[in-house]
Chains A and B, each alone.
Chain A
Amino acid sequence: MLPEMIWLIPFFPLLGSVLVGLLGRRILRNWVTLIACLAPSLSLLLSLTCSWRLLSLPPEARRLRHSLISWVASGDLSVAFGFLFDPLSAVMTLVVSGVGLLIHVYSIGYMADERDYHRFFSLLNLFLAEMLVLVLADNYLLLFLGWEGVGLCSYLLIAFWFERPAAASAGTKAFLVNRIGDAAVVVALIWMILLFGSLDFQIVLREAPRTLSHGSFVATLLSLLLFAGAAGKSAQLPLYVWLPDAMEGPTPVSALIHAATMVTAGVYLVARSAPLFELAPVSLEVVAWVGGLTALYAASIALVQTDIKRVIAYSTISQLGYMFLGLGVGAYAAGIFHLMTHAFFKALLFLAAGSVIHALAGEQDLRRMGGLRGPLKITAGSFLVGALANSGIAPFAGFWSKDEILHAVYASGHHLLWVLGALTAAGTGFYMFRLYFLAFEGTSRLSPQARDHIHEAPWSMRWPLVLLALGSAAAGFFGVPPGSGLFQRFLGPVFPMTARETGSAVHVSGTGLAMASLVLSLAGIALAFRYYLRHPERPEALAARFPALYGLLLRKYRVDELYDQLVVRPTILGARALSGLFDSRLIDGTVDGIASLLVEAGARLRRIQTGHVPAYVLSILAGVVVLLGYVLAFRL
């Protein structure tokens, strides 16, 4: 009975989206709110029920499957709208619907003054539906449907205030960059059909080890294609450039899509395809290195950014790097664990930032904040919890998950990567608390308008903050003790091929490693304290001493400019050339040419029509004479 209801999990928000979208303008706002928040609640409820059912099953048999209806039945290929609920899906759906629900509630207050309130909630629900389809699919094609769907919703929501040029182009940028990754995924899917004749997870992931040899070119390329898609969706090097710009969208959007859910789709894809990746050690290396480098890279940019949301955005990119780092060294459960904890504290940070922006009537520049702890106590408190979790300070959630990853990295022999990860941890501590100190502590640098406007958020916005703070604080304990906590045991059977996580011999040095990274994080925080609280003039002095470096970091290593020169401009020039030369001259010329040719021919031929009947008779006679002559001469 329960498996047949899995499809309802994504269906409720879909229904909500349609109802709110079509009727939203005509019904009372309260109804919109009700429908839009009821949908994720129902999804969450159903997810909890399914998860509970999973727990009642023995660990090896924890999966619920149900195929709703056939989708593609073409020749040998058959794909269905099928849904799978196993521990991995459980984690994902709970995160998505849980955090999603909190953000929906938060949006009631945040978007209260918005004219297109209903459009926002319709899109938010639609996004939730697509994401749930993505994580509940039992085959790659349905997953891809959700994948594309969240990309679309991401575009629509980033460009929600589409009258703003910056927002519109940010949305387009996000969509286009994602598209590059998506193209790779499509190639991968086609290849899978050719190799395995199916896109079902069960079939592909079972046949892959049998059909492809370990370390083969096919396995490597296939998994790299999937990873390329993941890199686009999850904003890793080099396809991360859309995420900072995506901050043009409303803050709840940033919280939901770009912190907790959509960007984690790439991580989910790689995790789900683990058997495939296990066949290609090269791909895993690539994944790990891309993750690690991205983590450090993004953290370095975050050190000097002045927009509150941008800092958090780069932090997201950095933490996603950690997740891929974990996956790349085979610590799949650890990577997903970090995904879960990250969802809590990153969403929290975004929502708290949103609360600040809301309080300051739209101010987002850190240089014009300061001393907000007084008036915004709840916001400041929850932000602090989030910052501590993000920086990996025990006993908050981020500590447990991040250290599990770093432990696995070291234990697998990737010592250099471990150093990168540790440095990133230090940087994370620094930029996070730079953010906190600049915004909430110290002297107030507020503008007069902000000063007048300042007020704590309404309770509909405060409650989610508090709940997320609790989550950020406590969620880590699901994974205690490291390597064998509840979480790992729940998720373990999904990744049976990796035995690296369960060895207990490494625990001894585990504590040592954990201490090391903790110390580094604390050092980062201390540095931030010194620079931004005790001696506020120091940062500027430092920036003045290394102007080139500072400029480079501030301008995000000029990657956007680089892409513009390398990719955007040539494409536009090419398109112009095609349009001007090829399309206008050649194609239009041909088509118009044919038309005018016909017109000319018609005009010339028309002269035969003199309207003079005797002339017509004459031609008839001529024809008769000829025909008769022919018949007489040759036929009789």
Chain B
Amino acid sequence: MTATVPLQAYLILSAALFTIGVIGVLIRRNALIIFMAIELMLNAVNLSFVAFSRFLDSMDGQVIVFFVMAVAAAEVALGLAIIIALYRNKESVNVDEINLLRG
């Protein structure tokens, strides 16, 4: 083994985390947990960015991650507000029961 961990290792880890997140979104029925899985996906991507930033001698990756985190924070705030409002109306956060957009 080489002394430093190669870029590919990070990338494979990132891919794995991402797919785990995707599965989470597809499989779970509780809206909050789905939301957490989405956050997991975001983080996986963050890992990719930072890894590239290091291996390509660029700071851009880290700056972008900074923005991603800021926006993720905003998104979580709003998303949770929506879930709360939804819960007030339907007494449930089970996505199977939320089909108001049904055409």
Contact = CB atoms under 8 A, between A and B. Distances in A.
Contacts of B102: 609-611
A246 B25 CA distance: 86
B26 A611 contact: no
B40 interface: no
Contacts of A611: 98-103
Interface string B8-43: 000000000000001001100100001000000000
B95 interface: yes
Contact of A613 (B22, B98, B103): B98
A613 B34 CA distance: 11
A485 B103 CA distance: 93
B96 interface: yes
A227 to B, nearest CB: 69
Contacts of A618: 26
A502 B100 CA distance: 99
A635 interface: no
Interface in A594-620: 606-614, 617-618
A621 B24 CA distance: 13
Interface residues of A, number: 12
A613 B98 CA distance: 8
A499 B102 CA distance: 93
A609 B26 contact: no
Interface residues of B, number: 13
Nearest to B101: A611
A607 B22 CA distance: 25
A614 B99 contact: no
A618 B34 CA distance: 13
Interface string A446-477: 00000000000000000000000000000000
A607 B95 CA distance: 18
A617 B99 contact: no
Contacts of B101: 609, 611
Contacts of A617: 25-26
A525 to B, nearest CB: 92
B47 to A, nearest CB: 19
Output the residue of B98, B100, B103 with the most chain A CB within 10 A: B103
Nearest to B38: A617
A603 to B, nearest CB: 10
Nearest to A602: B103
B95 A614 contact: yes
Contact of B99 (A607, A608, A610, A621): A610
Contact of B95 (A609, A612, A621): A612
A614 B103 contact: no
12 contacts: A606-B103, A608-B103, A609-B101, A609-B102, A609-B103, A610-B99, A611-B98, A612-B95, A612-B96, A612-B99, A613-B98, A614-B25
Interface of B: 22, 25-26, 29, 34, 95-96, 98-103
Given A607-B103, A613-B98, A617-B26, 16 more contacts: A609-B102, A610-B102, A611-B98, A611-B99, A611-B100, A612-B99, A613-B95, A614-B25, A614-B26, A614-B29, A614-B95, A614-B96, A617-B25, A618-B26, A621-B22, A621-B26
Closest 6 CB pairs of A and B: A611-B99, A609-B103, A611-B102, A606-B103, A611-B101, A613-B95
